[in-house]
């Protein structure tokens, strides 16, 4: 059997090495148009900032290593330019211009995705997709004494690049066309990270796109979508990626409406004996709909699945993608999985949401850090998505929830999960358990919840924090009765009016709701309490004027 793989990195390289482990006699060829066949593109911003010091550290597997250990024929600087599906050949163009045809029994397309530039280019304008880009960006900064930079785009790469340019000592502006940074998160979660960027010197400009970039005296003049202009030493375009589908499309492969290569459950394209994996393919998201989710983890698993299918092992493990992701933003970590609330609103699906502010480990053990968690779930208890932001152990919580989602778990399962506990590492009731408890209370009818944006201007709001907490900040026109005085003072509250109860983060509010419900009051807990109300208001979600 002869297998030709177009593209290396995550999907292509993982497919090739898995193939070799499954079939020692197969002839395996990787065609890679770049200089590196397997590199850590997720580490590129950290090389630019100097956290990763050596360029060679970015190399996951060199061509020589793949040849020696796996007997794989790796051909770098060799681009696949055409496919003849009927003849089962690939037209290959070497860097010097020589072309030849390579036959195959099975063909794997792993071309990845290209950085979007929206027509912007020129000296001092960079994207960050491969090692060559990272080396070029860093050397340009050092060689030209660049002192300030614009990062266009507030996704993962944009935020990581902004942090690492600050690490290099640059004055950094980050411009994002959307109203928030980091689109996988919802606005009230993303605003925490905008604050962290600003705290560390990054000038964050949301709802601001880049209209044009042109050379000028002193660097690059950038015209923004709001009519303002600025001059920068470099511009890094982190505007997202588009799947590389031109080769597949020209050969007649079906392209999904979202622009990715269409594949079935076995990662097969519409062309006979042609498979695809990685950032170029259309996958199934959490809701079962076609999606583009360019992440390294799914790409690696898809490559492995393709190798299994080529060798007859019938693997359908690569197509469904939950989108679990994590990003470092200076001293904070942000992680998410599944759908966010913006997507759920757009789809019209019914859902509940709850917030929690648990600590990274037992609070009596030194160093516990508080995190912000959000859980989205369906009326039947199915987990739809989760998000977290904090200084420590945030990704651990999202990983656990992602695993539960993978196996069809519900919020009741989160409440019942048995997770490791010792004071330095966790609490006896873990953050995941707490989210499950809160969600189960909602579904079991023990607690009605309202979200910050649902609080109306005329609603009766009861704040059960202490007077000093209340004095430090509260919802306008709310009434303050501390929780421990509530039973004795409940006659001060109206029984003919619904009451929204708030505290700091929601726990005391829940206790107050149970007390008042037992006395015949119509009560609901403000999920996430005053802290989440403040974040939602800062994110522009609260529009009640209070």
State the burial class of residue 283 (Cβ atoms within 10 Å of its Cβ: 0-12, 13-18, 19+): buried
Distance (Å, rounded) from C-alpha 546 to C-alpha 543?
8
Q: Do 282 and 349 lie in a common domain?
A: no
Looking at 185, 218, 239, the residue that finishes a domain is 239
CA angle 302, 308, 314 (to 5 degrees): 100
Q: Do 490 and 531 lie in a common domain?
A: yes
Q: Do 219 and 233 lie in a common domain?
A: yes
Q: Do 103 and 134 lie in a common domain?
A: no
pLDDT of residue 315: 81
Question: pLDDT for 27-84, tens place per residue?
Answer: 999 999 988 888 888 999 999 999 999 998 998 889 999 999 999 999 999 999 999 9
Share of the chain above pLDDT 70, in %: 100
Residue 100 has pLDDT above 90, yes or no: yes
Q: How confident is the model at residue 358 (pLDDT cuts 50, 70, 90)?
A: very high
Assess if residue 365 is contained within a domain: yes
Question: pLDDT for 190-230, tens place per residue?
Answer: 999 999 999 999 999 999 999 999 999 889 999 999 999 99
Assess if residue 270 is contained within a domain: yes
Question: pLDDT for 379-391, tens place per residue?
Answer: 999 999 999 999 9
Q: Do 195 and 210 lie in a common domain?
A: yes
pLDDT of residue 40: 87
State the burial class of residue 525 (Cβ atoms within 10 Å of its Cβ: 0-12, 13-18, 19+): buried
Range of the domain at 381: 331-442
Distance (Å, rounded) from C-alpha 39 to C-alpha 501?
52
Assess if residue 118 is contained within a domain: no
Return mean pLDDT, the chain.
96
Residue 332 has pLDDT above 80, yes or no: yes
Assess if residue 52 is contained within a domain: yes
pLDDT of residue 319: 87
3-state secondary structure 48-110: HCCCCCCHHHHECCCHHHHHHHHCCEEEECEEEEEEECCCCEEEEEECCCCEEEEECCEEEEC
Assess if residue 369 is contained within a domain: yes
Nearest to 41 by CA among 157, 158, 176, 167: 157
pLDDT of residue 38: 85
166: left (phi over 0), alpha (psi -120 to 50) or beta: alpha
Q: Indicate which CATH number applies to the domain containing 465.
A: 3.40.250.10
For the chain, what is the domain count?
4
pLDDT of residue 374: 98
Nearest to 389 by CA among 181, 108, 123: 181
Assess if residue 497 is contained within a domain: yes
Looking at 239, 259, 276, the residue that finishes a domain is 239
Q: Which residues contact 507 (CB under 8 A, 6 or more apart)?
A: none
Question: pLDDT for 70-81, tens place per residue?
Answer: 999 999 999 999
Residue 317 has pLDDT above 80, yes or no: no
Q: How confident is the model at residue 401 (pLDDT cuts 50, 70, 90)?
A: very high
The arrangement of strands across the sheet holding 371-377 comes to 325-329, 332-338, 383-390, 371-377, 352-356
Question: Can you tell me which residue has the tokens 């070497």?
Answer: 94
Q: Do 139 and 75 lie in a common domain?
A: no
Q: How confident is the model at residue 178 (pLDDT cuts 50, 70, 90)?
A: very high
Q: Do 109 and 256 lie in a common domain?
A: yes
pLDDT of residue 318: 74
Bigger pLDDT: 462 vs 183: 462
Average pLDDT over residues 289-306: 94
Assess if residue 320 is contained within a domain: no
Q: Do 360 and 341 lie in a common domain?
A: yes
Q: Do 11 and 54 lie in a common domain?
A: yes
Looking at 179, 205, 239, the residue that finishes a domain is 239
Q: Do 454 and 436 lie in a common domain?
A: no
Question: pLDDT for 412-450, tens place per residue?
Answer: 999 999 999 999 999 999 999 999 999 999 999 999 999
pLDDT of residue 257: 96
Q: How confident is the model at residue 314 (pLDDT cuts 50, 70, 90)?
A: confident
Q: Do 367 and 340 lie in a common domain?
A: yes
Assess if residue 317 is contained within a domain: no
Q: Indicate which CATH number applies to the domain containing 138.
A: 3.50.50.60
Q: Do 25 and 37 lie in a common domain?
A: yes
State the burial class of residue 172 (Cβ atoms within 10 Å of its Cβ: 0-12, 13-18, 19+): buried
Distance (Å, rounded) from C-alpha 400 to C-alpha 396?
6
pTM of the model: 0.94
């Amino acid at each position: 059997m002869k297998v030709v793989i177009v593209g290396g990195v995550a999907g292509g390289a993982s497919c090739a090495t898995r193939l070799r482990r499954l079939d020692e006699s197969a002839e395996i060829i990787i065609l890679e148009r770049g200089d590196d066949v397997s590199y850590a593109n997720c580490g590129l911003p950290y090389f630019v900032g100097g956290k990763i010091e050596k360029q060679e550290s970015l190399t996951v597997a060199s061509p020589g290593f793949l040849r020696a250990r796996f007997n794989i024929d790796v051909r770098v600087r060799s681009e696949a330019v055409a496919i003849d599906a009927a003849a089962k050949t690939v037209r290959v163009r070497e860097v010097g211009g020589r072309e030849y045809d390579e036959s195959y029994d099975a063909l794997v397309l792993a071309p990845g995705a290209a950085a979007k530039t929206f027509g912007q280019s020129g000296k001092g304008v960079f994207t960050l997709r491969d090692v060559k880009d990272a080396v070029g960006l860093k050397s340009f900064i050092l060689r030209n004494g660049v002192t300030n930079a614009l990062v266009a785009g507030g996704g993962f790469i944009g935020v990581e690049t902004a942090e690492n340019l600050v690490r290099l000592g640059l004055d950094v502006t980050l411009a994002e066309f959307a109203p928030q940074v980091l689109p996988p998160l919802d606005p009230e979660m993303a605003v925490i990270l905008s604050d962290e960027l600003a705290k560390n010197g990054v000038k964050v400009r949301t709802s601001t796109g880049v209209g044009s970039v042109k050379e000028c005296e002193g660097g690059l003049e950038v015209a923004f979508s709001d009519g303002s202009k600025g001059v920068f030493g470099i511009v890094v375009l982190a505007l997202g990626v588009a799947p590389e589908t031109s080769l597949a499309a020209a050969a007649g492969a079906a392209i999904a409406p979202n622009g990715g290569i269409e594949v079935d459950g076995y990662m097969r394209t519409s062309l006979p004996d042609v498979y695809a994996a990685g950032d170029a393919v259309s996958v199934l998201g959490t809701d079962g709909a076609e999606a583009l989710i360019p992440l390294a983890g799914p790409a690696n698993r898809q490559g492995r699945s393709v190798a299994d299918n080529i060798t007859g092992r019938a693997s359908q493990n690569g197509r469904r993608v939950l989108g679990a992701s994590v990003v470092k933003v200076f001293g904070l970590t942000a992680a998410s999985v599944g759908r966010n609330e913006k997507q759920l609103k757009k789809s019209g699906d019914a859902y509940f949401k709850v917030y929690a502010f648990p600590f990274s480990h037992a609070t009596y053990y030194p160093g516990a850090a508080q995190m912000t968690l959000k859980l989205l779930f369906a009326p039947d208890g199915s987990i739809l998505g989760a998000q977290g932001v904090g200084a420590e152990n945030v990704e651990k919580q999202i990983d656990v929830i992602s695993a539960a989602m993978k196996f069809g778990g519900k919020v009741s399962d989160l409440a019942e999960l048995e997770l490791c506990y010792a004071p330095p590492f966790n609490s006896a009731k873990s953050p995941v358990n707490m989210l499950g408890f809160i969600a189960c209370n909602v579904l079991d009818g023990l607690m009605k919840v309202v979200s910050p944006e649902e609080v109306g201007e005329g609603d009766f709001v009861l704040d059960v924090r202490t007077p000093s907490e209340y004095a430090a900040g509260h919802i306008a026109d709310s009434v303050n009765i501390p929780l421990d005085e509530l039973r004795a003072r409940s006659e001060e509250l109206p029984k003919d009016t619904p009451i929204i109860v708030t505290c700091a983060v929601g726990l005391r509010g829940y206790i107050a709701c149970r007390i008042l419900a037992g006395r015949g009051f119509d009560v609901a807990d403000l999920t996430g309490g005053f802290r989440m109300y403040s974040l939602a208001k800062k994110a522009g979600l609260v529009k009640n004027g209070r």
